[in-house]
Amino acid sequence: MPYQLYHLAAFSVAAIVVLVSTPTIKEIGLKSGRVDLPNARKMHQRPMVRLGGVSIFLGTLIALLAVWNLGGFGFLPPEKEYQIWGVTIGGLAFFLIGLADDLFSLPAIARLLLQSAVASGAWWVGVQISFLTIPFHGLVQLPVWISLPVTIVWLVGMANAINWIDGLDGLAAGVSGIAAVVMLIVCLFMNQPAAALIAAALAGGALGFLRYNFNPAQIFMGDGGAYFMGFTLAGVGVVGLVKSVTTVAVLLPYLILAVPILDMSAVILDRLRSGKSPFVADKRHLHHRLLQAGLSHRLTVLFIYSLTLWVGTLALAFSGIPSGLVYAIAATALLSYTSWKVMRHARS
């Protein structure tokens, strides 16, 4: 069987598991009282179950186990199979950290320390950023003492970046799903089937979750889902692209995930400039600013989707994928249209 069919199977199984399991998880959350209560900063108006990340994690894990049982990853060399479980186990740990926060409200510093410890373990087993691109110089191999902190910042930073954009119905799931699909395509094109397999399963789980999470949402993914998706996307970027010794491949994960990266960076700088802690939640994110400008909930989410799709298609074009430039032009047209809608609503 062509190995691309395994990726399709992973996507499909993950989506089906999420679609089937989410209502049950919602009922469990309601009966146990595990709900997210409204407050002045949050956008929802009624208590919402925030355990949807359980279904996303289960969907992704079951999809990978199903593919393993179908073919034993026979189309992968042993080191690539090892990478799959390295990223998956790290994702499990990040999911458990987020789930513990959903259930028991862990202090921010405790979450950060636990995440850093898990990211260090991921680095130890091979999920390492070993190269950086220096403008006008090209690729530079990093010594161990730089590779470790850079990898930790990337893995922990992306987990929190996805969590920080999870402020509107369907926003984090949609952005993560789009990014995962783009990573799937790029990894397949660059002959990285192991990383592509994880991306396929994650894409199926994230997009399947939108059935219950898009506005008006029936359930939230919570920190468990956001941390899991953020770490997994970052891990796929490392083992599938950053490890490729080409300037373009090293840059692609940062381009694909540019929207959450830039949003988090801008918020941190704005908080520091205001003399506030970068870890204190507020309404400085892009989606908050768009809502304050007069956009509707759905238009805000769709505009950020279009931004994510646009940078994703730029990554396709830069990677040299056939018709990548065509996709980028089409996404630019879509972004232009949604930008026009944003400007019209902001003025009214």
**124 falls within a domain:** yes
Please write the tens of the pLDDT for every residue from 297-311. 999 999 999 999 999
Supply the pLDDT for residue 348: 64
* Strand-pair category, 35-36 with 138-141: unpaired
Q: What is the pLDDT of residue 177?
A: 98
The answer to the question of residue 325 being in a domain is: no
> What's the domain count of the chain?
1
Structural domain includes residue 327: no
Instruction: Choose from 232-236, 276-280, 290-294 the range with maximum mean pLDDT.
Output: 232-236
| Domain-located, residue 139 | yes
**Above 60 in pLDDT, residue 343?**
yes
Domain hosting 213: range is: 3-266
In the structure encoding, which two tokens stand for residue 225, read together?
A: 């889902």
Q: What pLDDT does residue 131 have?
A: 82
Is the dihedral angle over the CA atoms 163, 169, 175, 176 positive or is it negative?
Answer: positive
Residues 160-169: pLDDT tens digits? 999 999 999 9
The 10s digit of each residue's pLDDT in 100-129 is 999 998 999 999 999 999 999 999 988 999
Please enumerate in sequence order all residues whose Cβ is within 8 A of that of 144, keeping only pairs 6 or more positions apart, or say none: none
Is 310 a member of any domain? Answer: no
- Per-residue model confidence (pLDDT) at position 140: 82
pLDDT above 70 for 152: yes
At 176 the pLDDT is 98
- What are the helix (H) ranges across 72-107? 78-104
**pLDDT tens by residue, 183-220:** 999 999 998 888 999 999 999 999 999 999 999 999 99
Asked whether residue 55 carries a pLDDT value surpassing 90, the answer given is yes
How many angstroms separate the CA atoms of 76 and 32, rounded?
42
Assess whether pLDDT exceeds 70 at residue 94: yes
pLDDT of residue 141: 85
* Residues in contact with 198: Cβ distance below 8 Å, sequence separation at least 6, in sequence order: 60, 64, 84, 87, 88, 232, 235, 236
- Domain-located, residue 66: yes
Per-residue pLDDT, 238 = 93
Does residue 275 fall inside a structural domain? Answer: no
The answer to the question of residue 304 being in a domain is no
